[in-house]
Amino acid sequence: MKLFTDEMQTGQVGNFTFSGVRPEKLGATEYTLVTLVMDKTGSVSGFENNLLEVKRSVVEACRKSPRAEYLLFRSVEFNDQVDEVHGFVELATIDATQYRAPQCAGATALFDAVYSAVAATNAYARTLTDKDFGANAIVIVVTDGDDNVSRQTVKAVAAEIKQGVRNEWLESLLVILVGVNAGHCQQKLNAFYHQGGLSQYVDAGSATPQKLAKLADFVSRSITSQSQSLGSGGASKVLTF
């Protein structure tokens, strides 16, 4: 999905590229940077439309938030590679009906996905801070499996999570890992949450329409809560699934 490419700028973090609206095109003075990272590995084949509906529901729920004009939303999908669907853009520029179900195949580069999402957030936040914008961020990663092909390590993820706040590019950062149909690797995902310095691990259970609707509500509430905390000097409290 290409969104207003003439108003976008690109960046590079290691081997990963990202994009975001040029600061001079933004109308507010502070933003919450939101990244939704969705698994598209072979093991989620058969649930493509369900996960697509989660993404669409999150965008539509965020659009109704009282903080909607202060959100910049980025969509990412991953298997053995990390792919940006679109970069950081204002919600008003997104037509959620244009999102398409992913083609699910390949292995799980979970650590790469989290690392690149956080690194891109830090880099874009630095760009905004240099232009006197205030910013905080939230990264939500939805997966059904443990890592098996990443080049990045858990240690690298933990170091990158600390970077943005330590360098004062971000007021705060939440990184939430969500397991869907992930009961078989819950211990490994929980270990990644602890060792990688993530903010929260949520086991969302099976990929039923009811559980996925609950997941979309949880994600949108978490985004709004983090946005409402901007200017407080800290992150919002993690919410119960």
Q: Indicate the pLDDT class of residue 6, thresholds 50, 70 and 90.
A: confident
Q: Which two tokens stand for residue 21?
A: 């609206």
> Tens digit of pLDDT for each residue in 63-115?
999 999 999 999 999 999 999 999 999 999 999 999 999 999 999 999 999 99
Backbone angles phi, psi at 54, to 5 degrees: -60, -50
Integer Cα distance of 201 and 204 in angstroms: 9
Is the pLDDT at 1 greater than 70? The verdict is no
Q: The tokens 């880099």 sit on which residue? A: 123
Query: What's the CATH code, domain 30-228?
Result: 3.40.50.410
State the pairing for strand pair 173-179/71-78.
unpaired
- pLDDT at residue 207, as a whole number: 87
